[in-house]
C-alpha cells in the first residue's frame, strides 16, 4: 500500500505542478483581460467625452444659427428703414426742384425752364446715383449760368424730366444726356 500510495502521491504531485502552471497561465490571462478592460474603459471615456464635446458644438452651432437668423432679420429691417429714410431724403432733395406744371408754363417762360425731373425714373435709381447726378448738374449749371438766372431757376424748378436748356442738352435721370446741337459730352463718364 505504501508503494501504491507513493505512486499516487507522485502522480498527484505531477498533476498539481501542471495545475499550478495552468493556474499561473490563467492568472496571467485574467490580468491581460483586466488590462484590456481598463483600456476599453479609458477608450469609452474618451468616446463619451468626444460625444459630449460634439453635442456642445452642435448646440453652439444651433444657437449661432438662431442669432444669425435674428441678425439677418434685424439687418433686413434696418435696410428697409434706411431705404425709407434715403427715399425721404431724396424726396426732400427733389422737393427743392419746383416749377409750374410744364403744361401750364406760358410761352414767355418756356425758354427759361432749366430742370425737369421724371419721378418714375427716380423710383428705381439708387439714392447715391441721383445725388451724384444732381451735384454734377448743379456744378455744370453754376458754371454756365449767370447768378440772376440761377436765382430764377431755383424758384422755377419742376418735378419732371431734368433738362439743361442753357447749354442745349437734355439730361435724363438714367445718367444719359442728349445733345440738341453738335456739342459732345464724350469726356464725361456715363453712369
HEC profile for 73-125? HHHHHHHHHHHHHHHHHHHHHHHCCCCCCHHHCCHHHHCCCCCCEEHHHHHCC
| pLDDT, tens digit, 9 for 90 and up, residues 132-190 | 877 877 777 666 554 554 444 444 443 334 444 444 444 444 444 444 444 455 555 55
Prediction pTM value: 0.35
Per the CB < 8 A criterion, the answer to whether 129 and 175 are in contact is: yes
Distance, CA of 85 to CA of 79 (rounded, Å): 10
Name the DSSP class of 190.
P
Distance, CA of 99 to CA of 11 (rounded, Å): 132
Amino acid at each position: 500500500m505504501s508503494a501504491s500510495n507513493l505512486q499516487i502521491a507522485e502522480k498527484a504531485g505531477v498533476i498539481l505542478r501542471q495545475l499550478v502552471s495552468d493556474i499561473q497561465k490563467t492568472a496571467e490571462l485574467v490580468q491581460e483581460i483586466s488590462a484590456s478592460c481598463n483600456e476599453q474603459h479609458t477608450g469609452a471615456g474618451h468616446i463619451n467625452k468626444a460625444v459630449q464635446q460634439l453635442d456642445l458644438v452642435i448646440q453652439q452651432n444651433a444657437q449661432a444659427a438662431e442669432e444669425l437668423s435674428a441678425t439677418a432679420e434685424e439687418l433686413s429691417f434696418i435696410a428697409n428703414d434706411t431705404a425709407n429714410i434715403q427715399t425721404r431724403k431724396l424726396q426732400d432733395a427733389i422737393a427743392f426742384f419746383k416749377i409750374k406744371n410744364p403744361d401750364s408754363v406760358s410761352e414767355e417762360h418756356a425758354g427759361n425752364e432749366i430742370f425737369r425731373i421724371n419721378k418714375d425714373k427716380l423710383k428705381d435709381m439708387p439714392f447715391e446715383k441721383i445725388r451724384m447726378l444732381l451735384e454734377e448738374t448743379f456744378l455744370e449749371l453754376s458754371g454756365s449760368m449767370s447768378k440772376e438766372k440761377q436765382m430764377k431757376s431755383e424758384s422755377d424748378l419742376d418735378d419732371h424730366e431734368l433738362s439743361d436748356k442753357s447749354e442745349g442738352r437734355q439730361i435724363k435721370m438714367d445718367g444719359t444726356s442728349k445733345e440738341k446741337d453738335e456739342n459732345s459730352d464724350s469726356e464725361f463718364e456715363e453712369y
